[in-house]
Each structure stands twice: as C-alpha cells, then as structure tokens.
Amino acid sequence: MAEALSDDDRSDSIDSVVPAYKEEATDEDSGEDDIINSAKKIRASGLSYETTCCKINGTEQGIKKYYKSSFKRGSNCLAKIYLLFHASNFEVTLFQAIIQHDHTTESEQIGIRIELKNVIVKLFQNGYTTPKAILSELDKLKIIQPKASQIASFLATLRKKLYGPAQISLNYIKNWCIGKSIVPNDPDECFV
C-alpha cells in the first residue's frame, strides 16, 4: 500500500513510494461501456482537463480506475497507472506500471501534408479560393488530391490566419469607436 508523502520525504522519488503492478487481463476488463472520456467540459469546475482515457472496474477490493498515457494520437506509450478506491475505508492506493513513458515514436501525419499545404496557399494567393477550384488545379498539376472537406477546413483556418476572425465582436467595435471619437484637425480624416 502506498504511503503518504510527508515534508521530509519529498526528496525521495515517487518510484519508492508507489508500488508497481503487473497488468492482468480479466473478463470484466473487456467491457466497452465502462470507458469514460474525461475530456468533456464540466461547468463550474476549476480543474483543467486533459485528454486521458479512464477505465473503471469494480472489484471486491474496491473501485479501480485505470489510466493510460495518451500523449498524442498514434503513440503507443505503455505507461499506465491505476487508482484503487478501497471499499472498506476512504483510502486510495496508487499503483504504477514498471514501464516508463515512451513518447519518442513518431506517428504518421494525419491530414494534408505540409508540402501540399504550401501548394494550396500559393493557389489561394493566386485567386483559387474554393475547394472545387483548388481540386481542379491540383488535378492539372498531377498532385495527389485530398478530400474537398479537408481543403475546406484548411481554407477556413488560412482565411482566419490571413484576415482575422469572420465575426466582429462588440468589444472590437467599442474600441474602434473610442479610438475614432476624437475630432481630428484634418477635415479628410473620419471620426465618430
């Protein structure tokens, strides 16, 4: 059972306090309905949520919550922990796998390749502003074409980066009015 860290034990590593465990497969572990995505926004909470996957398993000893590392999509980090909420009392025990985090493996790129994004930006600057027009130009250039929805999403991001947000906020209008409220000396300069 893990011991609580006191002020004088803070120099010790967590490995000496947290016991290691071996993952055991049971029939209860195969349930798909007990996976919870904790990345959902919970209102009136000051905690920051990360995208972690939690699996809950009820046993005679108590409730076990399994957590695995989800650094990025496609990485297969084998580091796992689980918390045992004891059924007999209010104690919680943390068990940690012996395997350390491994986030060095690179996953393949998802979405439009960087080279193709550069070509799409050049086409956008040359006046091809719709996904259909860009797809026809990519076909003429004999370049592998992404989906039209991928191009539309990339163009929306590109427009936002180049031209700013599509909607103007009231705060922006208020600041503009305050900035233009001073009567200028030049009769050709606008004011509100």
pLDDT digits (tens, 9 = 90+) for 129-159: 999 999 999 999 998 889 999 999 999 999 9
CA distance 64 to 86: 9
CA nearest neighbour of 84 among 72, 97, 71, 93 = 93
User: Rounded mean pLDDT of 4-24?
Assistant: 46
Residue 73 has a pLDDT of 56
Helices 148-163, 114-125: inter-axial angle, 10-degree rounding: 60
Same domain, 64 and 92: yes
Residue 3 has a pLDDT of 42
Q: How confident is the model at residue 9 (pLDDT cuts 50, 70, 90)?
A: very low
Answer yes or no: is 55 within a domain.
yes
- Gap between the terminal Cα atoms of the chain: 71
Residue type at 188 in one-letter notation? D
Answer yes or no: is 2 within a domain.
no
Same domain, 23 and 86: yes
CA distance 69 to 51: 9
Q: How confident is the model at residue 105 (pLDDT cuts 50, 70, 90)?
A: low
User: Rounded mean pLDDT of 43-69?
Assistant: 67
Residue 126 has pLDDT above 70, yes or no: yes
End position of a domain, from candidates 39, 66, 97: 97
Same domain, 34 and 114: no
Answer yes or no: is 83 within a domain.
yes
**What percent of the chain shows pLDDT beyond 90?**
20
**How many structural domains does the chain have?**
2
Same domain, 91 and 117: no
Residue 34 has a pLDDT of 44
CA nearest neighbour of 2 among 82, 112, 71, 87 = 82
CB burial of 23-32 (b: ≥16 within 10 Å; e: otherwise) equals eeeeeeeeee
> What domain range is 92 assigned to?
7-97
Residue 138 has a pLDDT of 92
End position of a domain, from candidates 49, 65, 97: 97
Answer yes or no: is 184 within a domain.
yes
159-172 tens-digit pLDDT: 988 887 778 888 88
Residue 46 has a pLDDT of 36
